[in-house]
Chains A and B, each alone.
Chain A
Amino acid sequence: MKLPFDHNSISSRLIVTGLLPLALLSTLMAFYFISNQRAEMLSNLHDTGHIAVRQVSQSTAFALYSGDRKRLDSLSYATLEIPSVEGIVFYSYKDNERLKIGSVGPSKGEIPPNIDISVPFQIGGYWYFYSEIISERAPIMDFEEVIEYEPEKIGWVLVALSDEILNQKEQSFIITAATVVLLSLLLAFWLSIRISRTVSEPLESLTEVVGKMEFGDLNPVASETGISELAKLARGINGLADSVRESNQLMQSEIDRATQELKKTLADLEEAMRTKDQFLARMSHELRTPLTAVLGFSKILLEETDELKRIEQLGVIQRCSKVLLTMIDDVLDFSRAERSGFTLNIVAFELDKLVGDLKSLFSLEAKKQNLSLKIHLDNEVPNNLYGDPVRLAQIISNLLNNAIKFTASGSVEVSITPQKAKSKNVALQFVVTDTGKGISKQKIPSLFDPFTQEDISINRLYGGNGLGLSIAKRLVVAMDGDITIESEVNVGTKVTFSCEFAENENCVTKLQTEDTNNQLADNMLSGVRILVAEDNKFNQQLLVELLKHHGAVCHLAGNGQEAINMSETDSFDLILMDLHMPIMDGKEATKIIVKNVTCPPIIALTADITDLVKNELIEAGAKSVQQKPLDEIKLINEILKVLDHQSELSNLSGEGMLSSVIPVADLKKEIEKNLDNLEASLRNSDQTALRSLLHDLMGFCGLYGISEIRELVIDLKNLEINSCPKSFEIIKAIRQHMMTSDKFKSVDPLQKI
């Protein structure tokens, strides 16, 4: 039999907890019963002794009194028959002699003097019981007068009882008790082992199972039989193992799935990186191509003396610049769409005019490639609509641009037909069809991805940034429409998109700007009183010159507070309010000015291009926000629009640069002054001044179209405005650019920007 010796084991503890109290209890009970038994036996011995001595004392009184030794012996021997009685000692007062009968009894002088013989006492192995032998004197007369009779003491008797029988019985009882206790303990020990094994063995089995589980082996199954609690535990462990097994499987599948996703993501990332690299290379190529032309023709232009050739070369430079601007606009559009989606500017427009403009725009390109461009506008299509004509034109332009670009021969057709709308809106379907090279079906799904073209060769052959279709799709979606491409290689491509518009049923005849002349009338703002709130002197001069050129009467305010004061004391038709100004900025000033119900309309000017800033300015009360760098035509048109001089609106697409004349020396001087202040602020870590100067410089550069310097200023701003060496390097780069740039050369033939 295997004994559990591990004192920390359950079985050991069960045995100990079972046996220890039992052993203790058994010992105590045995001790108690033995003591009790001994006390009882001793009590019996005493009773026997008392009875014997009393009997002897009473029965032998006569014999002792009479000195009848024979009778005394006879009576004493009868008493000696009582078990344990071993001897009797008589003493007669009358004869003053001691008489010992039997084998045991203390002889004269053997009783220690300090022993009280009136109570049982023990000497050696014998108990002695003492009693006086008294002759009772009973009243014998009938009319007795004496109340009490003094009994006559004849002598005394000691009866000796051996405790041998008591000891034997006690010994026997101890042996019996010890045997019983031992047997009980053995039985308890055996039962404890049995019980502990019924607990410990299943527990060990469970521990083994759990141990295997710990090492990942979930196959062992714990036995669910035996003690109910352990069976319950086994069920729990089995359930846990099942759960862990399922969890492992699930986890493994998740890991597999995640791995797959990760691989896919990695592949996508690699693809994206590759696409980005391709895009950068493409953009670099796309940007360099027109830039090369611009730079080359600019150089030639400096040396060219023939006025006609110079005009022609300037035209090339202008077109290349437009290409560059379009490309940058596309990238910015896409970036904006990615960040916050397109915001449509819903206005009333006439579809036939838009179509006409597009046809005019692309007819020349088509002719150059000997392509036939046809635009069919179905008669059922309502002409007066509400929508964003600019974005619609952008979509069609992108599609037409692609169609013309990829069609070597044949035709390009645009078809506009009505569709059944989901609501009261007007649904239109636009189909652009070409007879170009076509696209393989496998490539079609990825065509709407940004920076994606059919293949790399396309870019080499045809250029482009791969954003056209992507922007077009986002615009279509913004107009609640859909766009699809059907194509067959070497047959042609058909791009279909649909958009919804609201019909303008209360259409009024709008002013038409048939003339697409690039020039603005000089007196369009004739007599208009404009308050220009601008802190920068140079900007003040620029804006005043520009507005005066168009006939406006300008008044200047150096900050927001000054603008408020002037608006209260004088009457103006319009206020141009710069955002960042000292003392009080444009937003706060606008808020205060618009509280006056008779206040003039306010156009806010800012270099900050975020929608958040624009919305804040509109909420402050500005009628519109013009972004720096200012577009002269857009600014004038916006002023006219705000002044409700719609008749004088120009829909010309401006050159994007102010055409007013500003002395280059003054401009250069102002920029250098700003740069000096910037360096000083950087050294002083004057964060407030830094922010203000950077903003001014950005607006200033934007205002004058000095984009190279503006980008450097943006870089400077992105360095989180601190005095790190990089900041000074950028300022140095700006200064170098000013030195090398043709714009700041005094020999500039135009002396103007």
Chain B
Amino acid sequence: MYFLVLSANVYAANSQHNQMHALFVLSRDNVNYTNVVDLIVADWDKNNKYSIVFKEEQQKLVNLVDKTDIVISLGTSAVETVFKNKCKKPHIATLVTQSSFDSLAEQYFGSEAMALAAGISPILLDQPFERKVSLAKKLFPKASRVGVMLGSASKGKITTYKNAIIDSEMRPQILVIDPKKNPIHQLDPIIKKSDIFVPIADSHLINVSTAKWILQLSYRYRVPVIGYSSNFVDAGALASVYSSAEGVAKQTIELLDTIFKVGYIHSKHLPKYCTVKFNTNVAWYLNLKIPDDLVIDADKCVL
């Protein structure tokens, strides 16, 4: 019944006014977030309207939410804010990782399925692991051992990761990091015996506490790292496959269009687009020649 009402609201808005009023909820007043908003509204119909609130502006959010046709949250905190205020409007949750969304859905809706049923449409930030393995294979066709670091949030898909590696004819070296132990001591043996190391984005704590040592160990053992963000490449990873602002915006627009056209879709959305970034300095030190086609199509999801 609830899903029928939601869809009816969206259609009503679209049919009556032929315009849409969107409410953007941002985790931070940061250029990375506002840039995504800008990219979204740039391709909009001129008749559409939108409002922006930040996670701290909860009263404003409450006041505006009834006047809007759809809520688009950007970032994990923004998603939580919207969840916390129990918005009755359709909600596209962007810039959120799989693990974070699962955690929040369980907290506020009981389960991921319940959240999806409540009209939440997440566009996940995590690029499919296969894309990273595919990139690694292309860069190092002779590599045989792929080290993978998992955290508590990502360890549930360990089999998926192993299979993906094996499917690429390589042997997985899986490390589930224990936050209570010295990460170096845990990372050192895995990285030391891997040809390529692919860390998986996990919780914020694990991501931050391990990234520096991953890069230092990779430097020490000359093991290339395929990261999960643009910042990772900047910090010293050889390459990253990640969701860029343009990709997220494009996918959001497409999702909005789909919702307005066909109605609400009760599913979570993996990143449709991906971006590949290389650190040429690291490549030079590793004596790696990056294939031209990868460089040319770096911003296209070709993997």
Residues on A facing B (Cβ under 8 Å): 62, 65-67, 94, 135-147, 149, 152
Contact = CB atoms under 8 A, between A and B. Distances in A.
Interface string B87-108: 0000000010000000000000
Which 9 pairs of residues, A with B, have the shortest CB-CB distance? A66-B184, A140-B211, A142-B229, A143-B95, A137-B208, A145-B27, A142-B230, A140-B231, A141-B229
B208 A66 contact: no
B204 interface: yes
A140 B237 CA distance: 11
Contacts of A139: 208, 231
B235 A140 contact: yes
Contacts, number: 65
A142 B188 CA distance: 25
B201 A141 contact: yes
B231 A152 contact: no
A66 B125 contact: no
Nearest to A146: B204
A138 B212 contact: yes
B184 A137 contact: no
B231 A141 contact: yes
Nearest to B77: A145
A269 B125 CA distance: 153
Nearest to A143: B95
A65 B207 contact: no
5 contacts: A136-B212, A139-B208, A143-B95, A145-B27, A147-B28
A65 B184 contact: yes
B27 A152 contact: no
A138 B229 CA distance: 13
B240 to A, nearest CB: 9
B208 A140 contact: yes
Contacts of B95: 143
A148 to B, nearest CB: 11
Interface in B152-204: 182, 184-185, 188, 201, 204
Given A141-B207, A147-B28, A66 B231 contact: no
A146 B184 CA distance: 24
A349 to B, nearest CB: 154
A630 B93 CA distance: 172
Interface in B203-253: 204, 207-209, 211-213, 216, 227, 229-232, 235, 242-244
Contacts of B74: 143
Nearest to B28: A145
A143 B231 CA distance: 10
B255 to A, nearest CB: 18
B122 interface: no
A342 to B, nearest CB: 143
B77 A140 contact: no
A140 B76 contact: no
B180 to A, nearest CB: 12
Contacts of A145: 27-28, 75-77, 204
B228 to A, nearest CB: 8
B33 interface: yes
A138 B235 contact: yes
Contacts of A141: 201, 204, 207, 229, 231
Interface of A, secondary structure class, is loop
Given A138-B235, A147-B28, A152 B229 contact: no
B32 to A, nearest CB: 5
Report the interface size class on chain B.
20 to 34
Contacts of B208: 137-140, 149
Contacts of B216: 62
B232 A140 contact: yes
Interface string B21-64: 00000011000110000000000000000000000000000000
A35 B216 CA distance: 46
A62 B74 CA distance: 35
A146 B242 CA distance: 19
A143 B31 CA distance: 10
Interface string B123-143: 001000000000000000000
B263 to A, nearest CB: 29
B89 to A, nearest CB: 23
Contacts of A143: 27, 32-33, 74-75, 95, 125
A62 B76 CA distance: 31
A120 B269 CA distance: 58
Given A62-B184, A65-B184, A145-B28, A137 B76 contact: no
A94 B211 contact: no
Nearest to A136: B212
A93 to B, nearest CB: 12
Given A135-B212, A138-B212, A145-B76, 13 more contacts: A62-B213, A66-B188, A136-B212, A137-B208, A138-B208, A139-B208, A140-B208, A141-B207, A142-B229, A142-B244, A143-B95, A145-B27, A149-B208
Contact of B32 (A67, A94, A142): A142
B229 A140 contact: yes
Contact of B209 (A94, A137, A142, A146): A137
A577 B185 CA distance: 165
Contacts of A152: 209
Contacts of B244: 142
A141 B244 CA distance: 11
B164 to A, nearest CB: 22
A142 B242 contact: yes
Among B185, B227, B229, which residue has the most Cβ atoms of chain A within 10 A? B229
A94 B182 contact: yes
Contacts of B27: 143, 145
A295 to B, nearest CB: 166
Contacts of B185: 66-67
Nearest to B219: A62
A513 B235 CA distance: 172
Contacts of A67: 182, 185
A65 B229 contact: no
A136 B213 CA distance: 11
B58 to A, nearest CB: 17
A66 B95 CA distance: 34
A142 B125 CA distance: 10
B182 A66 contact: yes
A146 B208 CA distance: 11
A472 B205 CA distance: 159
Contacts of A66: 182, 184-185, 188, 213
Nearest to A152: B209
Nearest to B27: A145
B33 A137 contact: no
A67 B211 CA distance: 18
A569 to B, nearest CB: 149
